[in-house]
Amino acid sequence: MRETIPIAYVGTLTGAVIAFALNFVAAPKLTRRAWLVFAVRRGLEFCRTVPDVVFALIFVVAFGLGALPGVLAIAIHSAGSLGKQFFETTENIDMKPIEGLRASGASYVQTIRFAALPQVIASFTTFALLRFEINVRGATVLGFVGAGGIGQDLMEAVRKFYYSDVSAILVMIIAVVMAIDIGTQYLRRALLSEGRLP
């Protein structure tokens, strides 16, 4: 688990950063070039349509066994999934602050920073925390194909019919996922109470 959790964390963080950067481009309200919106959306669609296990298999062939293929597979799949959630959230923002900043001559980045971001940051944080929880389970499955983590130990125990070890590993996975779920809920409530999220 000491390897599985960092794989999920780094993969989720990388995917969330990519999704954050691309979601504003994929939102027609903020990007007036239709071809750019179309291209970014199709790219995100590809990332989330291809299963993360397939990406993991490709990266295992390219980089060998270990944590790196797992991180890359989770990052790409998370970018696609979070990107869709992010740009759909961005599409529903109130346009009055956007129009006000545009009328005052604000740049694209300033418009995003001061008009769009305050409206979506709470939802983005919630989606990213949920995705991290999902990716901890996903990182376990990726271990079956050699992408690091506790999944490799689980597969080895299954192959050797060590059912007591299989049970112990499954209990550990369930306990860790439950702990992460509780922890992410607490973290979001703490951020909201401190006013760091709108």
| pTM of model > 0.75 | yes
Confidence check: pLDDT of 12 > 90: yes
The residue-averaged pLDDT of 164-187 equals 85
pLDDT digits (tens, 9 = 90+) for 93-118: 888 888 888 888 888 888 888 888 88
Is residue 78 within 8 A of residue 15, CB to CB? The reply is yes
Map out the domains of the chain as residue ranges: 4-193
User: What's the pLDDT band for 2 if we cut at 50, 70, 90?
Assistant: confident
CA 9, 10, 13, 19 torsion-angle sign: negative
Q: Is residue 83 within 8 Å of residue 22, measured between CB atoms?
A: yes
Contact indicator for 175, 89 with CB cutoff of 8 Å: no
Domain 4-193, what architecture?
Orthogonal Bundle (1.10)
Q: What is the pLDDT of residues 146-161, one digit of tens each?
A: 777 787 788 888 888 8
More confident residue, 141 or 58: 58
